[in-house]
């Protein structure tokens, strides 16, 4: 997988995919720790950014 970043998260690898989105193992570059992110498909997003919710 080509390294990809979203905000402060650097995706390491894809863990899985389901009906609503894709789950990645990522590194939080601000907190300097591993995290798991679920990137939602656009149709499930509640924000204009297409899947990033805080």
pTM (predicted TM-score): 0.70
DSSP code of residue 9: E
**Position 52 in a domain:** no
SS3 of 12, please? strand
Q: pLDDT (tens digit, 9 = 90+) per residue, 2-53? A: 778 989 999 999 999 998 899 999 999 999 999 999 988 877 666 655 555 5
**Position 47 in a domain:** no
Sheet holding 21-28, edge to edge: 4-6, 9-17, 21-28, 33-40
CB distance 23 to 37 below 8 Å: yes
Q: How many domains does the chain have?
A: 1
**Position 48 in a domain:** no
């Amino acid at each position: 997988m080509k390294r990809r970043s979203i905000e402060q998260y650097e995706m390491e690898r894809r863990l899985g995919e389901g009906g609503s989105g894709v789950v990645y193992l990522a590194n939080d570059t601000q907190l300097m720790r591993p995290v798991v992110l679920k990137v939602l498909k656009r149709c499930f997003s509640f924000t204009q950014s297409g899947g990033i919710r805080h």
